[in-house]
């Protein structure tokens, strides 16, 4: 809700409020956080005298006022706010001075258009604060509250009404001055196969800048970040979350100043950015997402998850149950034959999968990753019956057909490059750098975008394809496009070009499920989620690594957007062995898939996977759409725990994950949350088993007959039989489970093995199911 009360602009949601008051030509930030009854008189900075070196902004306005003493929604440039401001520009006369003064406000029933960029859906009213400079620069700040999920969007729009050009060097989506400096900054950093590693540091004097320059939102630094009070934990404490609806290079900074403020800002990456507006032209920044919760990281998750699900994802897919898939990538890589595909599909169907995804290598000359990108015709050797042949085959087995594409890229060894070498991005006279042997297509060019739209539409119309994995596997370098009037526009125009292609292809195929991917999570962001309701989270499918990645990604993104696969052991990224059932337990708290050679499973493994898929399907809604809580963030010496709870709080699932096992430890207690304290729940452990192999010589310890650990008998037995884990079932009150906690029984520690003892090697897991009586 937006209102004006006693000269204060109030932008409020159910629990939060953003309050601003004009102060002469300035707009002063009064408070952002928990909703309050504001008073400008009490909240404005009580500056009455100027100190030592203070620069007086404008004697007429206030002979004692320096900009540095205030929280400001927008800073006039070169006027004494020595913190970094949201805007940095040059006027036609070469001056960088821009005295933007508050000039009025408006409440619109709908936010103004944002041409070329994805925006949040079902937005309501929008507060616009207008600032003008004497020369005719107009800056408009937009505030859009989302009542139901405690989110406020911000955006900056700049219009050149001067009579010369205005060049933007920095145009952030917002700046926000919080009058405190006791905050901890959490950013989510990483690299290929280890996305979303949290880094938490105290806000410190000076500027802390972070972001990406690689052309995508990137695995180096996700656009989501948080600021929290020092005492904040999973369930309690104050925390702010920030994100951008944008997939290109982005930048953010947090700056503790000399007078107790922390200035936060984020938007398009300014490095390399330059955008000249001719008279009459307007520049609109991506929408930025701001949220606040007084209920710790799980409160923040709740806000972000509801916002993403309700206002970012394509509505067609919001409620739609997502299929269990089998993907052939880690099963075959590029090395597959028609026979192999047939065998994989037959097995996938038998296991209960619903979708078969044909990954990289099915088209053109693509026999390995040195060739073929840019072409879309099926390779007749690998697909003798074409795409429809494979689709028919799958349909007979009751499997939907999914396919991999990487449209934004081109290989030099491809028909496309041979015809249009100039469509690959490169700078005149410089040989371009390669990433994964490929070049980036110049999406700044209209004809390239049209080629991709035509190829993809044709592909999707030519065969009954129900799912597309849209991949993007290299960073941008050598940025130059001959079509642009200035190269400082490249990164942003390229990103808008991508959005245009995505929009055209997804809108004309509303029933195709799109999953984003960029070598895993190199482009896991709200811009992509506006078109594709799910994204492959990481190429790393190791259960323990995934446990960490999913935990931290969940700060900004719901589990129902994360592609999570069970893969082989040893894991292809870490060489680690984890139990098959534990790999499932972690993947089940997301969108489940299998990415291993299912034709090589032994009977025991096949039985386990069948049971896993049946179990997941039975509880799919809970796992994909339940409210996600982190109970304990994973740590190697302590393990971790999560929970999902159904909306009516009658169903819940708990993940219990061990890290590095230590023998004879204290008994863990897992305090649950989100249940109805007045209800009683049936509690059970999902039936699991462990491979006989994991016991080796210890087998004689638990078996009544003496066996040779490395003998044929044990090996053969292991093919068909696994050791069942503990079977537990009891009832317990909701209040008991939340306030006293779940008490899992002892783990196997060498001495003694009975029914109740739990064989839990390193990085193994359990799922506890709760159902209200």
CA distance 67 to 90: 21
Cα 312 from Cα 305, distance rounded (Å): 10
Q: Residue 261 or residue 404: which is nearer to ligand GLA going by CB?
A: 404
Cβ at position 565, least distance to ligand GLA in Å: 9
> Which among 391, 388, 380 has a CA at the least distance from the CA of 357?
391
**Which residues are CB-neighbours of 37 under 8 A, at least 6 positions away?**
none
Quote the CA–CA distance of 737 and 714 in Å, as a whole number.
40
Pairing of the two strands 513-516 and 465-470: parallel
Compare residues 473 and 559 and give the one whose CB is closer to ligand GLA: 473
| Least distance in angstroms from the C-beta of 536 to ligand GLA | 6
For residues 546 and 163, give the distance between their C-alpha atoms in angstroms, rounded to a whole number.
55
262, 256 Cβ separation under 8 angstroms:
yes
C-alpha dist (Å) from residue 209 to 254, 263, 512, 525, 571: 6, 11, 39, 19, 35
34, two tokens: 């928990």
Which is nearer to ligand GLA, 359 or 585 (by Cβ)?
Answer: 359
Nearer to ligand GLA (CB atom), residue 404 or residue 695:
404
Instruction: Mark 538-556 as b/e (b = at least 16 C-beta within 10 Å).
Output: bbbbbbbbbbbbbbbbbbb
Minimal distance, residue 545 CB to ligand GLA, in Å: 15
**Nearest CB to ligand GLA, comparing residues 409 and 580:** 409
In the complex, the smallest distance separating the C-beta of residue 436 from ligand GLA, rounded to whole angstroms, is 8
Write the DSSP assignment of 542-553 as a string of letters: -HHHHHHHHHHH
The span from the CA of 628 to the CA of 148, in Å, is 17
Task: Name the β-bridge partners of 520.
Answer: 538
- Report the nearest approach of ligand GLA to the CB of residue 509 (Å): 20
CA distance 441 to 419: 13
What is the DSSP pairing of strand 355-358 with strand 325-327? parallel
539 is catalytic: yes
Query: Would you call 3 helix, strand, or coil by DSSP?
Result: strand
Question: Environment class of residue 472 by beta-carbon count within 10 Å: exposed (0-12), middle (13-18) or buried (19+)?
Answer: buried
Q: Which residue's entry shows tokens 């079932």? A: 729
The least CB distance from residue 469 to ligand GLA, in Å, is: 6
Catalytic residue among 539, 542, 581, 585: 539
Q: Which of 276, 664, 658 is nearest to 492 (CA)?
A: 276
* Contact indicator for 366, 410 with CB cutoff of 8 Å: no
By beta carbon distance, the residue nearest ligand GLA is 360
- Nearest approach in angstroms of CB 563 to ligand GLA is 9
C-alpha pair distances (Å), 523 with each of 214, 375, 449, 649 = 11, 23, 19, 33
- Which residues, including other chains, have CB under 8 Å from residue 578's CB and lie 6 or more apart? 542, 543, 544, 569, 571, 762, 763, 764
List the beta strands (DSSP E) in 453-601: 465-470, 513-516, 534-536, 562-567, 591-595
Residue closer to ligand GLA by CB (options 29, 212) is: 212
The minimum distance between CB 245 and ligand GLA, in angstroms, equals 23
List residues bridging with 104 in a β-sheet.
130
Which DSSP string corresponds to 590-653?
SEEEEES-GGG--HHHHHHHHHHHHHHHHTHHHHHHSEEEEEEEEETTTEEEEEEE-TTSSEEE
Whether residue 108 has a cis bond before it, omega within 30° of 0: no
Q: Which is nearer to ligand GLA, 84 or 474 (CB)?
A: 474
Residue of 77, 71, 67, 58 whose CA lies nearest to 139:
77
* 536 versus 552: smaller Cβ distance to ligand GLA: 536
Q: Which of 360, 471, 540, 542 is catalytic?
A: 471
Cβ-based nearer residue to ligand GLA, 10 or 568: 568
Smallest separation (angstroms) from ligand GLA to the CB of 517: 5
Tokens in use for 602? 């032994």
* Smallest distance, ligand GLA to C-beta of residue 461, A: 23
Between 145 and 520, CB nearer to ligand GLA = 520
d(CA 82, CA 68): 7
By C-beta, is 219 or 627 nearer to ligand GLA?
A: 219
Min separation Cβ 640 and ligand GLA, Å: 25
Compute the least distance from the CB of residue 502 to ligand GLA, in Å.
Answer: 18
Structure tokens at 72: 């400001």
Tokens encoding 221: 């630094």
Length of the chain: 773
- Residue 163, Cβ density class (10 Å: 0-12 exposed, 13-18 middle, ≥19 buried): exposed
Q: Is 442 a catalytic residue?
A: no
Question: Which residues contact ligand GLA by CB under 6 A?
Answer: 329, 359-360, 404, 471, 473, 517, 519-520, 536, 539
> Of 135 and 359, which has the nearer Cβ to ligand GLA?
359
Beta bridge partners of residue 179, listed in sequence order: none
**DSSP per-residue codes, 197-254:** EEEEEE--BEEEEEE--SSSS-SSEEEEEEEE-TT--SSSB-EEEEEES--S-EEEEE
Q: Which residues are catalytic?
A: 471, 539
């Amino acid at each position: 809700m937006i209102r004006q009360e006693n000269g204060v602009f109030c932008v409020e949601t159910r629990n939060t409020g953003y309050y601003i008051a004009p102060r002469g030509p300035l707009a002063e930030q009064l408070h952002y956080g928990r909703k309050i009854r504001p008073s400008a008189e009490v909240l404005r900075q009580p500056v009455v005298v100027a100190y030592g070196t203070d620069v007086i902004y404008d004697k007429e306005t206030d002979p004692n006022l320096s900009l540095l003493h205030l929280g400001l929604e927008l800073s006039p440039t070169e006027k004494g706010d020595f913190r970094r401001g949201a805007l940095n520009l040059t006027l036609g006369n070469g001056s960088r001075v821009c005295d933007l003064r508050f000039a009025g406000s408006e409440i619109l029933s709908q936010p103004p258009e944002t041409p070329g960029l994805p925006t949040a859906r079902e937005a309501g009213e929008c507060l616009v604060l207008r600032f003008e400079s004497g020369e005719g620069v107009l800056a408009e700040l937009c505030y859009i509250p989302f009542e139901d999920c405690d989110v406020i969007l911000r955006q900056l729009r700049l219009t050149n009404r001067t009579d010369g050009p205005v060049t933007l060097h920095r145009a952030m989506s917002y700046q926000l001055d919080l009058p405190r400096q006791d905050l901890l900054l959490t950013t989510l950093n990483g690299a290929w196969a280890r996305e979303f590693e949290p880094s938490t540091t105290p806000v410190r004097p000076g500027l802390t800048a972070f972001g990406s320059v690689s052309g995508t939102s990137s695995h180096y630094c996700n656009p989501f970040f948080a600021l929290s009070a020092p005492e904040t934990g999973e369930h309690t404490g104050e925390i702010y979350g920030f994100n951008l609806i944008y997939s290109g290079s982005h930048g953010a900074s947090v700056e503790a100043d000399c007078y107790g403020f922390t200035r936060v800002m984020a938007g398009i990456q300014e490095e390399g950015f330059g955008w000249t507006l001719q008279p009459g032209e307007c520049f609109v920044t991506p929408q930025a997402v701001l949220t606040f919760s007084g209920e710790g990281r799980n409160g923040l998750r709740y806000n972000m998850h509801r916002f993403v699900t309700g206002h970012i994802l394509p509505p067609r897919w919001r409620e739609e149950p997502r299929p269990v898939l089998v993907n052939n990538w880690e099963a075959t890589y590029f090395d597959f034959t028609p026979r192999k595909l047939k065998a994989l599909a037959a097995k996938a169907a038998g296991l209960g999968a619903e979708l078969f995804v044909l990954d990289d290598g099915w088209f053109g000359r693509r026999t390995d990753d040195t060739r073929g990108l840019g072409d879309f015709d099926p390779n007749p050797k690998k697909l003798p019956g074409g795409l429809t042949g494979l689709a028919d085959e799958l349909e007979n087995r009751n499997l939907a057909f999914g396919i991999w594409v990487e449209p934004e890229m081109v290989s030099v060894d491809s028909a496309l490059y041979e015809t249009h070498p100039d469509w690959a991005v490169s700078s005149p006279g410089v040989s371009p750098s390669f990433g994964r042997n490929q070049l980036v297509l110049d999406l700044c060019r209209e004809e390239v975008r049209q080629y991709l739209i035509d190829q993809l539409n044709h592909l999707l119309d030519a065969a009954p394809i129900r799912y597309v994995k849209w991949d993007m596997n290299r960073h941008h370098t050598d940025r130059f496009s001959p079509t642009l009037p200035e190269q400082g526009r490249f990164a942003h125009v390229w990103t808008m070009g991508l959005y245009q292609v995505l929009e055209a292809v997804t809108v004309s195929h509303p029933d195709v499920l799109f999953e984003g991917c960029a070598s895993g999570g190199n482009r896991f962001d709200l811009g992509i989620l506006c078109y594709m309701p799910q994204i492959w989270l990481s190429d790393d499918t190791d259960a323990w690594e995934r446990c960490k990645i999913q935990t931290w990604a969940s700060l900004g993104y719901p589990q129902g957007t994360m592609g999570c696969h069970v893969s082989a052991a040893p894991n292809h990224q870490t060489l680690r062995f984890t139990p098959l059932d534990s790999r499932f337990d972690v993947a089940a708290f997301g969108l489940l898939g299998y990415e291993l050679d299912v034709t090589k499973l032994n009977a025991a493994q096949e039985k386990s996977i069948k049971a896993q898929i049946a179990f997941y399907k039975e509880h799919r809604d809970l796992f994909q759409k339940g409210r996600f809580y982190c109970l304990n963030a994973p740590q190697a010496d302590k393990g971790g725990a999560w929970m999902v709870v159904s909306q009516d709080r009658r169903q819940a699932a708990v993940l219990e994950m061990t890290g590095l096992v230590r023998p004879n430890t204290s008994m863990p207690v897992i305090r649950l949350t989100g249940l109805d304290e007045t209800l009683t729940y049936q509690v059970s452990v999902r039936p699991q088993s462990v491979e006989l192999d994991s016991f080796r010589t210890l087998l004689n310890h638990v078996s009544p007959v003496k066996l040779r650990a490395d003998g044929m008998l044990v090996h053969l037995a292991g093919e068909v039989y696994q050791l069942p884990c503990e079977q537990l079932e009891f009832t317990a009150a909701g209040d008991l489970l939340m306030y006293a906690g779940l008490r899992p029984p002892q783990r196997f520690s060498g001495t003694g093995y009975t029914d109740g003892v739990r064989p839990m090697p390193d990085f193994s897991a359990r799922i506890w199911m709760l159902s209200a009586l």
